[in-house]
């Protein structure tokens, strides 16, 4: 059996941990530059607000209802995620992180000595006691069915935060009441194809003949069908290794100088390289894009992108940043007020180090090790504690706007919480 443990409204739940008096109160977290709502509690959902809604559109509603609003703090959320996942690993030895707030737990062998539901409820109580983060758990024979069970655990309080699909009767009952759009792995195009074929529930999809599914869907769709029928076949470790890595952001203020644009692109390139090394991969192609504010029709409009291939796949921050700077020179146009830029790394392959007989870059292995050392220092001392000089000063105009920040209580000794007695 496999369990999926998912933290409820994770970003908002973390904020509630560090701000007293918010239990049962509406809480929401905003995206970078405080643009959109990315996380919220059920109390905010009750106002009819949906995830992704621009903050300015619902600001009055939130203020009237005395909602607590916070700027996102990924350093704080990541630190809390590590604590929660560490507690999970104390309960189950074989785990697999899937995202910042989700982790798969492999329960094979535990059923001989434990009741799976009881074991997971004990873990949920321990996490709540030690971190005050609410967690829901779904248990089933496959990862996709565990996702289904997790949805029920979140939706119905009667399950006590843990729902198990343990037999054929429970599987069919769970899928009969499950929306197609909520199935893990069913995207917009697959959903439209299923609906046009007369399929309206997850059970109807699971009951389709295998050869029909194979004809109408690619491999991911067929794998989803197999998992819904109790046959485990999805390797999430492969899913997590992305085929492209993108970092982009709208600026808090528009910028016009090439130096500022280069600083933003260099910062995003470093972020992409960090993600690249984290999955032990290398990229063979770098793309840079930039554009003006499309909502300001009174200003000149411009957007462009350029890409370049590397002589050999690389995860070296310096090499990829230099390539990105050349691309900025190519697309930059004077007189434009830029509102957004970004970097895309593609042609991703496994392994950070690739050897070329006539490699133009000297000491490639040493440079990769230098980048890894920078990653370790930034993880220990804080995001961008060590960076390339071209990324500019911390208060540059294009930097992220955060009007409602929570300090990094768990990672920065200068921001430790002060308690008055």
Write out pLDDT tens, residues 256-289: 999 999 999 999 999 999 888 888 888 999 999 9
Q: What is the pLDDT of residue 358?
A: 55
Residue spans of the domains in the chain: they are 3-76, 87-236, 241-391
> pLDDT above 70 covers what percent of the chain?
94
Mean pLDDT of 359-370: 74
CATH number of 3-76, picked from 3.30.710.10, 3.40.190.10, 3.50.30.30, 3.40.1170.60: 3.40.1170.60
Of 109-118, 322-331, 354-363, 382-391, give the range with the top mean pLDDT.
322-331
DSSP string, 219-248: HHHHHHHHHHTT-----HHHHHS-S-EEEE
Residue that wins the pLDDT comparison between 29 and 113: 29
Mean pLDDT of 320-338: 95
Give the CATH fold of the 241-391 domain: Dna Ligase; domain 1 (3.30.1490)
Which pair of tokens denotes residue 66?
Answer: 């005395």
Q: What is the pLDDT of residue 150?
A: 96
Does residue 353 register a pLDDT over 70? no
Instruction: Assign domain 87-236 to its CATH superfamily.
Output: 5' to 3' exonuclease, C-terminal subdomain (1.10.150.20)
Three-state secondary structure of 355-402:
CCCCCCCCCHHHHHHHHHHHHHHHHHHCCCCCCCHHHCCCCCCCCCCC
Q: What is the pLDDT of residue 187?
A: 83
Does residue 360 register a pLDDT over 70? no
Q: What is the pTM of this model?
A: 0.78
Q: What is the pLDDT of residue 60?
A: 93
């Amino acid at each position: 059996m496999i369990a999926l443990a998912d933290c409820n409204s994770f970003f908002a739940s973390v904020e509630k941990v560090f701000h007293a008096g918010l239990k049962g109160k509406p809480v929401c977290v905003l995206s970078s530059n405080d643009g959109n709502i990315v996380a919220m509690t059920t109390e905010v959902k009750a106002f009819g607000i949906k995830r992704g809604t621009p903050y300015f559109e619902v600001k009055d509603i939130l203020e009237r209802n005395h909602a607590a609003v916070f700027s996102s703090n990924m350093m704080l959320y990541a630190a809390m995620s590590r604590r929660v996942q560490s507690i999970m690993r104390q309960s189950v030895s074989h785990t697999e992180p899937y995202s910042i707030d989700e982790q798969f737990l492999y329960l094979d062998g535990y059923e001989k000595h434990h009741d799976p539901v009881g074991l997971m409820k004990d873990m949920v109580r321990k996490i709540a006691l030690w971190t005050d983060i609410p967690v829901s758990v779904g248990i089933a024979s496959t990862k996709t069915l565990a996702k289904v069970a997790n949805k029920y655990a979140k939706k119905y309080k009667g399950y006590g935060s843990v729902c198990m699909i343990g037999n054929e009767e429970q599987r069919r009952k769970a899928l009969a009441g499950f929306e197609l759009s909520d199935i893990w792995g069913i995207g917009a195009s697959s959903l439209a194809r299923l609906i046009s074929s007369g399929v309206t529930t997850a059970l109807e999809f699971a009951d389709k003949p295998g050869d029909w599914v194979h004809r109408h869907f690619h491999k991911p769709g067929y794998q989803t069908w197999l998992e819904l029928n109790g046959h485990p076949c999805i390797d999430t470790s492969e899913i997590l290794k992305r085929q492209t890595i993108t970092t982009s952001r709208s600026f808090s203020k528009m910028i016009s100088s090439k130096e500022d644009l280069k600083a933003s692109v260099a910062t995003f390139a470093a972020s992409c390289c960090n993600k690249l090394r984290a999955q032990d991969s290398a990229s063979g192609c770098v793309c840079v894009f930039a554009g003006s504010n499309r909502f300001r029709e009174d200003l000149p409009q411009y957007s462009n992108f350029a890409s370049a291939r590397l002589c050999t796949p690389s995860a070296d921050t310096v090499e990829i940043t230099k390539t990105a700077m050349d691309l900025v020179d190519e697309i930059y146009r004077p007189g434009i007020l830029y509102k957004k830029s970004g970097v895309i790394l593609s042609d991703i392959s496994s392994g950070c180090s690739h050897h070329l007989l006539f490699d133009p870059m000297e000491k490639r292995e040493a440079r990769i090790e230098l980048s890894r050392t920078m990653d370790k220092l930034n993880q220990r001392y804080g995001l961008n504690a060590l960076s390339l000089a071209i990324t500019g000063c911390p208060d540059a105009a294009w930097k992220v706007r955060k009007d409602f920040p929570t300090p990094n209580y768990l990672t920065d000794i200068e921001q430790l919480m002060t308690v008055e007695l």
